[in-house]
Chains A and B, each alone.
Chain A
């Protein structure tokens, strides 16, 4: 038995599905197409094989995810990652928090911000700009949203443009989605337990 991780960590866990993923050898043509499986590319993660049960969603979600997180212009990529981290902390998605903390650290070439978040939680001391982004991210991730006009004003006061705020909203909202797949359909387990 592998050990399920219960606390946030910056070490990216292994994701273990709670349902049986699609078996590649039994996949339908539509599934293979959505998985982009070719003779030279047969490596597909268990997560994607799990989502392949709903092939129509999988097919539209991947390009949307990439556009929101990676399209040029607008909000800096590290700040989109901070929005993703804020959502993941609220939703308790240990896997997403670890993956996106690691991306944030790579983009910023520093683990300082994410170290603080893992050590001190969402009240960690941050720059005023990061604080405004994180406060808005955690509030918008609540159900119902607790985000306020004052938090929106704080983003503008930190110099975020309309385009940047839109990108932040998109990344936070996207992780409302991603967290509800990752955290609901599988468990984060210790990598060495594989």
Chain B
């Protein structure tokens, strides 16, 4: 796998041989580890309460909140029966608390407080599943900023 075969590489659409391509090759290990992290949060062996298609739907929703619509479509393609949750204009239905938590962590990070965690616990979500939600959200934030940053590098060097 090269850096360009990763989700980030594909979505940043880097031209082979460009200065940015050269810079990315210098950090190829980081791009491979980034893909391994995506596999660990989107498609882990141990899913806890969050099956892979739900994780994909939540990832698509977070990408959409960040105006990363192409990445959002990429994740939404794996959302199966949870596809409705990929759309930020829906309220999450049965998963209303989970969806609200994920949106707040993604978009209003600084206002997250202890009560947001207590609210999840009150709906019966256990500690391990709360950590799993935070990891999924946190990774997406990283991947989205990496793609947005690379796109700016490319635009400005074009």
Chain A contact residues, CB within 8 Å of chain B = 4, 18-20, 50-51, 53-57, 59-61, 63-64, 67-68, 71, 73-74, 90-93, 140-141, 143-145, 147-149, 151-153, 156, 161-163, 165-167, 169-170, 172-174, 176-181, 183-185, 187
| Chain A contact residues, majority secondary structure | helix
For A166, give its contact among B20, B134, B144, B148 (CB under 8 Å).
Answer: B20
Query: Measured between alpha carbons, how far is A144 from B146 in the docked complex, in Å?
Result: 12
- Chain A residue nearest to B30 (CB atoms) is A67
23 A-B residue pairs with CB within 8 Å = A18-B117, A19-B117, A19-B131, A53-B128, A54-B41, A54-B128, A60-B39, A61-B37, A64-B34, A93-B109, A145-B148, A147-B148, A148-B152, A152-B155, A166-B20, A166-B24, A169-B145, A177-B139, A177-B142, A180-B106, A181-B138, A184-B116, A185-B134
Residues of A within 8 A of B44 (CB): 54, 56-57
Say yes or no: is B98 at the interface (Cβ < 8 Å to chain A).
Answer: no
| Chain B contact residues, majority secondary structure | helix
Chain B contact residues, CB within 8 Å of chain A = 19-20, 22-24, 26-27, 29-30, 33-34, 36-37, 39-41, 44-46, 48, 65-68, 105-107, 109-112, 114, 116-118, 121, 127-128, 130-132, 134-135, 137-139, 141-146, 148-150, 152-153, 155-157
Residues of B within 8 A of A63 (CB): 33
- Chain A residue nearest to B155 (CB atoms) is A149
When the two chains form their complex, are residues A67 and B152 in contact, meaning their CB atoms are under 8 A apart?
no
- Chain A residue nearest to B63 (CB atoms) is A144
- Chain A residue nearest to B33 (CB atoms) is A64
Separation in Å of the B110 CB from the closest CB of chain A? 3
Closest 5 CB pairs of A and B: A92-B110, A169-B149, A180-B138, A173-B145, A176-B141
